[in-house]
Amino acid sequence: MRKEHQRLGLTSIRNRILFFALLITLLPSLTVGWLISNMMHATLEENLEEKLVEASRIVRGELDLWFRERNYDLHVFSNSFVISENYSKYLEARLKSGSNNSELSTHLRTLKTYLKSVKNKFTEYDNLYLLDKEGDVVAAAAESGGALSPLLPEDMAQQLQQSQFFKGQVFFDVQDNIPFVVMGTPLFTGQSEEFEGVLAVRVSLAEIHDILKSASESFSNAAVLQAMLVRLDNGRYFITAQQADIFNTPIFADEKIMIEGDNGGSLTYFPNHLGERVIGRLFPLVFTDWGLILAEDYDTVFARVEETRNRNYIFIAVLSIIIGLAAFFLTKQIIRPLRNLTEGAQEVADGNLDIRLPVEKNDELGFATSVFNEMVAELSRSQAKLEKMATQDVLTKLPNRKQILRIVHNRFEYYQRYSIAFGVLMIDVDNFKHVNDTYGHIAGDEVLRDIGKIFKETLRSFDSAGRYGGEEFLVVLVDSGDDNAKQVAERIRQAVENHSINYEDQTIKVTVSIGIAMVSPDDTNENSLINRADKALYAAKENGRNQTAYLNTIN
């Protein structure tokens, strides 16, 4: 009876060793397997986001080029002698004798004939219009089925004054439901600096579908890149790369992707217009009120994660059987390694990723111990990488916005406790958009990297500099007075001004504007100090850029 009792349950040492061997194998393996799956998931998300950002640059560049070409064509047509001469004479004739005379009709016929000839040469133009200053149609290439004024943007005059070009919203043709926009350029007659009319064109957006489709196909591998255009004001889809037919009924983007787009954009899981679960981003287009949604099918993107997870389960099951059999026959030899593995697993569970278990024998348990060490080492490296990614700006290698604001917060608490003064510098690269537009975004990245290096060379070891956002930086000066802060700010400004950035055989020179603020007893929190530095930066910008400004008055 005693032997029978010992063979049952956990009263048998052999069963206990088997149970604990399986437990120690399963728990760490499942935990590490789960973590590896999450790491792969995060890596795939990161790779996908890089791919989407790169694709968005190409698509946005193509769309920008498409608008520039339309702008260029309209400027060429508007400067045509036929347009300018006949429209000028039309205005003169209308002022002299009204609109009911043969001379007026002659000019109108000439204008309509020219507009019709242009329309026949450019098939993407649905219609061309010559408008007066009030936006009323003077002449058109073809008779319109409806009034043009509802299709014109309310700020048309403002757009024309700012950029000599206007773009309207997306509309849908009531017959074939093809989206189109109306755009135009001003007409000038004589020596007047005020435009006397507008040359407008109604353009079909079918050609933009080809742009999206081409970009989608060029970036496709395992998963098909989905490219979609929406109106930002209401989120309605109007063009997709995967569907040539435009939607017969309005379909709107999921609220989650629109909210993330308003918040700066990040990877979002959402259903697309076909109801499929996808992962993607919304990229607002700066040159129009459209949004570009790029996404890929969720199941296709993360298929490798599912395969790896299943392989891990099989591996864990096989390993458990092997270790269980070894525990059954070698109870005495494996007690100490099992104890080590148990203690090691507990250390990992408690957050100690520096643990390394000794490999005592070259057997299955020794192999399991080695695998455990490798998995914990990989987990430790991954955790260190994640911590670094969470606090460091990828481009400049400086602390990111979250980290530099944490530094300011900690310094402010230290000031409240010990009254050790400190200051902040808000730094912005002057005319940074011009650098991107002239030399490209990669050159702009090089400028930001070099400025980050200048901070590291100029500041003291216990001062901190971080990327606040875009081309803005925030510097924290520890134990610093007013004069010292001004000297440091001027030293940084001069260093940037005297520095040359070499990019593809080109020398780029930039300057910075700096706002200075010192902590004050009246500050209730660090935000008051940062806002003061930001106002000082604004004053430096207003005073002509490439200078420093000091503001220490709390409004």
User: Which residues are known to be catalytic?
Assistant: 471
Residue 460 three-state SS: coil
User: Beta strands 548-550 and 512-518: pairing type?
Assistant: parallel
Cα gap 453→496, rounded to integer Å: 10
Rounded alpha-carbon distances, angstroms, from residue 76 to 81, 199, 255: 10, 11, 42
Q: Are 369 and 340 in contact (CB under 8 A)?
A: yes
Cα atoms found within 13 Å of the Cα of residue 303, Cβ hemisphere only? 7
Specify the DSSP element, H or E, that contains 166.
strand 166-167
Give the sign of the dihedral formed by CA 14, CA 17, CA 20, CA 24: negative
Cα atoms found within 13 Å of the Cα of residue 448, Cβ hemisphere only? 26
Cα gap 426→429, rounded to integer Å: 10
Closest C-alpha to 533, from 475, 466, 471: 475
Contacts 24+ apart (CB under 8 A), 56-60: 56/281, 56/283, 56/292, 56/294, 57/441, 58/215, 58/218, 59/211, 59/212, 59/215, 59/227, 59/292, 59/294, 60/283, 60/285, 60/292
Tell me which amino acid residue 225 is: L
User: Beta strands 268-271 and 277-284: pairing type?
Assistant: antiparallel
Cα gap 76→70, rounded to integer Å: 10
Cα atoms found within 13 Å of the Cα of residue 428, Cβ hemisphere only? 22
For residues 462, 468, 473, 476, the Cα torsion angle rounded to the nearest 10 degrees is -30
